[in-house]
Amino acid sequence: MELLRQKVINEGIVLEGQVLKVDSFLNHQMDPVLMQAIGKTFTQLFADTGVTTILTIESSGIAPGIMTALEFGVPLIFARKQKSLTLTEDIFVETVYSYTKKQSNDITVSKKFIHPGDRVLIIDDFLANGEAASGLARIVKQAGAEVVGIGIVIEKSFQPGAQLLIDEGYRLESLVRIRSLDNGRVEFVDE
């Protein structure tokens, strides 16, 4: 997606530890025009999937998620993150480990909002190790629903998440794919 790629080139800042800071349009300040274009692009990429529900995770997945949901005309659900949890019967729970933050979170979705037969498109802002996306996919399975695809705004292709999701059989579409953040420089997969 060319508009997004230009944003990354012009505004992305490469930090220590292979982290790309995109606070000016995705993770802190948000660019609504870009977000709308992201929603439209995901809608085109997953047009044939019969999606009934978009699923993301708070907080940075919500903006691309809601724009995609708006375009498809379906609801958005965002999973909540909780430090630790007393189990209750009315929520789906999966544990997700963040290598970046070196901590585990329980992610939860109310059983009210995903049902057997739902066709769920997972959307998230970043794909690194794939922990968040695969945790969301496990919640969809718990619900007896189907994952029809995973849409990612920025894929860090040099980390294992993308291959892991493909190996698990998911249809993965990433709007930009980053091959390397070495030497403070962003290199895309197709250059």
Which residues are at the interface with ligand G4P (CB under 6 A)? 19-22, 27, 59-61, 98-101, 125-132, 156, 161
> 110 CB contacts (<8 Å, ≥6 apart)?
90, 91, 92
Considering only 55-63, 100-108, 115-123, 166-174, which stretch makes contact with Na ion by CB under 5 A?
A: 55-63
The partner residues of 19 in beta bridges, in order of sequence, read: 15
Closer Cβ to Na ion, 20 or 143, answer by number: 20
The partner residues of 57 in beta bridges, in order of sequence, read: 79
Q: Judge contact between 138 and 170, C-beta under 8 A.
A: no
Does 174 sit near Na ion (CB under 5 A)?
no
| Smallest separation (angstroms) from ligand G4P to the CB of 48 | 26
Closer Cβ to ligand G4P, 71 or 131, answer by number: 131
Strands (E), the chain: 13-15, 19-21, 53-57, 76-82, 91-98, 103-110, 119-127, 146-156, 172-180, 187-188
CA–CA dist 102, 44 (Å, integer):
35
Does 61 sit near Na ion (CB under 5 A)?
yes
143 is in an annotated binding site: no
Residue 131 binding result from Na ion, ligand G4P, none, given CB thresholds of 5 to 8 Å by partner type: ligand G4P
| Smallest separation (angstroms) from ligand G4P to the CB of 26 | 7
| Smallest separation (angstroms) from Na ion to the CB of 132 | 6
Q: Packing angle between helix 62-72 and helix 32-45, nearest 10 degrees?
A: 60
Closer Cβ to ligand G4P, 27 or 180, answer by number: 27
What residues form the annotated binding site for 5-phospho-alpha-D-ribose 1-diphosphate? 128-132
What residues form the annotated binding site? 20, 27, 128-132, 156
